[in-house]
Structure formats: structure tokens, C-alpha cells
A and B are shown apart, each in its own frame.
Chain A
Amino acid sequence: MNFDIKKIRKDFPALHQEIYGKPLVYLDNAATTLKPQVVIDSITNYYSTINSNVHRGVHYLSQQATEEFENTRKNIRKYINARNTHEIIFTKGTTESINLVANSFGKKFLSHGDEVIISELEHHANIVPWQMICEEKGAKLKVIPINDNGELILKKYKDLITDKTKIVSVSHISNTLGTVNPIKEIIDIAHQHDIPVMIDGAQGIVHEKIDVQELDCDFYCFSSHKFYGPMGVGVLYGKEKYLEEMPPYQTGGEMIKTVTFKKTTFNELPFKFETGTPNVADVIGFGSAINYIKKIGIENIIRYEKELLKHATEMLSGIQGLRIYGEAKKKAGVISFLLKDIHPYDAGIIIDKLSIAVRTGQHCAQPVMDRFDIPGTIRASFAFYNTKEEVDKLVQAILKVQEMFG
């Protein structure tokens, strides 16, 4: 397929605005991506016409809402090649998906003295929920270390596994350093010991083709809003065998089969994990985002982004006094860097004034900052609507920063 960047950019209305009087350069895609017009339209369309609750009414619009909502579930199943549609659980986002597994899996399978393995690369959302449940259960949290390039040290990972290990939870792609983790290998190693693996795919789904059966991961989760869909929707994929055994995470309506004051029995999957009125409009909007991505083709996106990242890495590496953090052999989407003797916050303020959106700070990954002993980084993160010209504008902005603080 012909990758027509001009045409693609037209699909994203937020790209066409001025900030401080200059065209916006949006390089904060790892925080949230912009939304194509089709996604915005589908949300507007839902509220303008269907606007009904799902799974309840017999009336026409409610039926239609349910159908579109459930079609999105089927769409997502197909997109990540899950075996069953009921293995797709809708949540608020990646964070809620991880909390759900940490709490529900933890309640059922973790006991005193057990162990959970995460990595040094994780976002706080894949650290704190595990910390909390480990504390509650008297379990131990173990951490796979990274090397100076920001790659997981697999040998150390193998050494961490014991007969007490109950689950491994690692990110697919690091939001801070851009490292693409060897998750297939991580999963295979864990499975040799019958240990399930959860993958935080918040960044992974955006920059890789996902096939959960091929990966054989036991859980995979991601957010809609980092993948061109609306905010407030996330997905948890889980293997049926675990989801069936896990107790409900939150309770209320929708997720029950029968309720008396003596006893409640729970609904079947996926509804067991989806209590309360779901975010129908945004789930449907997410369906439109996935259709849009399918139309462009994730392979095309990956190819284009790879080229863009290569260009950005080359250009930034050429700047004197700039150090890139995270130099893994396999990287995607993100470049984190620091300028010699310039605080990332100072740089961020000036870059912002030059109409470029980047993120500065710790990126919700304090352990990574501690590992490199830095106060934070400046992070440029790319999407397939970004261009080499925009990367060059970032380079100009960095040179300006150096001039001002030099």
C-alpha cells in the first residue's frame, strides 16, 4: 500500500492548529496519540443517535448500542488474534487492567512467601499494583534488572525464577526508553516453569503487530487513547483458563447472574469483570480507531515509524552535548535524552515555547531514572503522522535551548 503521509495528516484535525502562533509539532505520542476524524465522528454519532445503555433494554436503540459495543469486542479479538471473544475485557485503561489482574489473580493464586517478577523498566502502573497485593499477601516482588543500554538482562531473569514464582508481569515496550522487550522469550522461559505472564502492552500495541496466541501470553493489556482511540477505554486480554478461575474485581450490576441477600452468583465471561455501565461511546470509538489502523495497515505503520525513529536517532545523536538514554538494539517509538548541564524542565519550557510538544520529567518510571541517576529526561515520542521535517524542527529547538542556556 502507498503510505500517503499528506493524506494521513489530513485525517487528524488536532495536527492542524497553531500553538503560540506556530504550527503544532506533536511529539508526545507515548502519553496519548491524536485521534483521527473517524473516531471523533463515531463518538459524536453515538451520542447524536444511539445513546442507549447496553445489554439491558429490548428497545431498538439499546439493541443497536449492544450490537456495536459487542462488535468492537469481536473486532479487538480478531485484531490481536485471541481465541475467544469472551477473553476480551473492557476496562478504563491499561492501569485498570493491571490492577484487575494484580488484585483478582493475586487474591486467588498468591499466598505468603510467593513471588511476583516485574522489571526495572516498568511504568509505575506495572509496579505499584503488584507492590500492594504482595504486601497484602506477604509475597515478594522481584525485579529483572536492565543493562546500560536499557535492555532487560535475561540471565538475571532466569535466576529470579523459583518454585515460588506465581506470575511475571513486564512491559512490551518501555514508555521511557523505547526498549522493545523480548517478550516471546520471557513468556517461553516462564512457561517452562508453568508460570503465567502478563504483558503491559500500552506502548506495544501501538508499534508492533500483536498475536496473543502466537506470543502465548496469559494476559495482554492496552489503552485505547494511546492507540488513536478515545480516552477512558482499555482492554484486558486474558486466557480463559485464568479468567474463569479469577474472582470478580469489582461488583455491582451487569456482572451478576442472580442476587439474593444470602448469595450472589456471577455472570459468565467477559461480563464477570465488567460491572456498571461501560463507556459505550468510547468503546465504539475505539472500534473505529482499530478499523482506521487496519485500513492503513500496522505493517506500513511499523515500517514508516522505524524510518522516522532512525532519522530522529541520527539527527539527535549528531547534536553535541546530547545524550540518548536507552540504546537497546530493538527500540520503538520513543527517544529519551538529556542535554549536558541543562535541566530537562528548563529544556522542556523552551521547546514548548517553540510550539513543540514533548514530555519532560520522570515519565511515571522513577526506578528507571534512579537506575541512570538522572532527574528525568526529555522524551520525544513518535506516531505515523509525524514527519522528518518535524524531527528537524525538534533539532532546531534543541539547538536554540543550548544557545539560551549555554
Chain B
Amino acid sequence: MTIREIEKEITEEFSMFDDWMDKYNHLIEMGKSLPLIEKKYRTDQYLISGCQSRVWLSAEMEDGKVIFKADSDAVITKGIINLLIRILSNQTPDNILNAKMDFINQVGLKEHLSPTRSNGLTSMIKQMKLYAVVFKTKMAQ
């Protein structure tokens, strides 16, 4: 699926919820179901620091596509990570770089990507795009 298609799918998924509590219950479920990153990645080397919650992120290249894996110590953060991974993982570096990520606004989770939340998510997206740049450069060589 393209990034656009996945974004549309997520937006539709979230439009089913009438109130914030259902939405957060859904996020919590997703946070719990996110496959955990292998223990070897849960180290400082892969840590994206946020003052409130911590995020670990790893990236690998497989058949021209970037595979992201991530984890967090907070469940809601993990739920949002789950969304970000669904969208950006298994995509080409170019597609990752071009992704606008505006679905976040549409599903009403914008506040979680505000730098004042200091939950590591803003830095996580930056880091994902940075990985895409690195892989793109490597591919060109």
C-alpha cells in the first residue's frame, strides 16, 4: 500500500470513535500489540530521548525498502509509534522523505507531536526521515 492509502485507512479507522476515550482505548490496544523491538535495540544507541517517555528506533534496508522497528516505555506513545511505523515502514526512502504525515491532524493526535510534549515522537519522525536520507545516499553510491 502507498503511504496515502495507509493514511486514509487510519483516518477512517479513527473516524469510528465518537469520543476521546474510545480513541485512547484504541491507541492503548495498539500500543500493547506493537511487536517489541529486539532487546539488543533497547539500548542508548537507539534511544531517542524525550523527557517524558523514551523511544527506541532501529532501521534496516530490505529490497530497497526501509524497515523500522520501535518501542517505547509508555503505552500511548507506543500506540502512536505503531501508527507511524504502519505508515513509514516498508516504504522506499523517497516515499518516506515525501510523506507529509498530515493524517496526525485528521485523527486528532496533533498534540502528541508537539515538541512541548517531549515524548520523543517529534524526534522520532525526524530520525525516521534521517534514516531515509542515509539509505537513499547509500543506494545512490
Quick one: which of B20, B21, B24, B77 contacts A345, CB cutoff 8 A? B77
Rounded to whole Å, the gap between the CB of A143 and the closest CB of chain B is 22
* Separation of A317 and B86 alpha carbons in the complex (Å): 41
- Determine if B73 is an interface residue (Cβ-Cβ < 8 Å): yes
**Contact A361 to B25, CB < 8 A, known contacts A345-B77, A353-B20:** no
Please give me the residue from chain B that is nearest to A343 by CB atom.
Answer: B74
Which residues of A, 372-389, contact B by the 8 Å Cβ criterion? Answer: 375-376
Rounded to whole Å, the gap between the CB of A30 and the closest CB of chain B is 17
B interface with A by C-beta (< 8 Å): 20-21, 24-25, 28, 51-54, 73-77, 118-119
Rounded to whole Å, the gap between the CB of B51 and the closest CB of chain A is 6
Quick one: which of B24, B52, B119 contacts A353, CB cutoff 8 A? B24
8 residue pairs, one from A and one from B, having the closest CB atoms: A343-B74, A345-B53, A345-B74, A345-B52, A346-B76, A346-B74, A361-B52, A346-B75
A interface with B by C-beta (< 8 Å): 20, 342-346, 348-350, 353, 360-362, 375-376, 404-405
* Separation of A349 and B77 alpha carbons in the complex (Å): 10
Please give me the residue from chain A that is nearest to B25 by CB atom.
Answer: A404
The reply to whether B20 and A376 form a contact with Cβ atoms under 8 Å apart is: no
Hey, which chain A residues are within 8 Å of B24, CB to CB?
349-350, 353, 404
Rounded to whole Å, the gap between the CB of A72 and the closest CB of chain B is 32
Residue among B24, B53, B77 facing the most chain A CB atoms (10 A cut-off): B53
Rounded to whole Å, the gap between the CB of B118 and the closest CB of chain A is 8
Quick one: which of B25, B51, B54, B76 contacts A349, CB cutoff 8 A? B76
* Separation of A163 and B54 alpha carbons in the complex (Å): 43
Residue among A20, A345, A375 facing the most chain B CB atoms (10 A cut-off): A345
The reply to whether A343 and B53 form a contact with Cβ atoms under 8 Å apart is: yes
Hey, which chain B residues are within 8 Å of A362, CB to CB?
51
* Separation of A344 and B20 alpha carbons in the complex (Å): 19
- Can you spell out 13 A-B residue pairs with CB atoms less than 8 angstroms apart? A20-B20, A343-B74, A344-B52, A345-B52, A345-B76, A345-B77, A345-B119, A346-B28, A346-B53, A349-B24, A361-B52, A376-B52, A404-B28
Rounded to whole Å, the gap between the CB of A346 and the closest CB of chain B is 5
* Separation of A361 and B75 alpha carbons in the complex (Å): 15
Rounded to whole Å, the gap between the CB of B96 and the closest CB of chain A is 26
